[in-house]
Amino acid sequence: MSNKPDRSEVKSFDVSKLKHIETTEKNPLPSFTTIAQERSENRPELNAVKEFSRQKLQHVETEEKNPLPTKETIAQEKSE
- Among positive and negative, which fits the CA dihedral 30, 31, 36, 38? negative
Domain annotation covers residue 5: no
Give 17-42 pLDDT, tens digit per residue.
899 999 888 888 889 988 888 776 66
Q: How many structural domains comprise the chain?
A: 1
**C-alpha pair distances (Å), 32 with each of 37, 39, 42:** 9, 11, 18
- Boundaries of domain holding 55: 29-60
pLDDT band at residue 72 using 50, 70 and 90 as cut-offs: very high
pLDDT band at residue 1 using 50, 70 and 90 as cut-offs: low
Domain annotation covers residue 6: no
CB crowding 4-31: b at 16 or more within 10 Å, else e: eeeeeeeeeeeeeeeeeeeeeeeeeeee
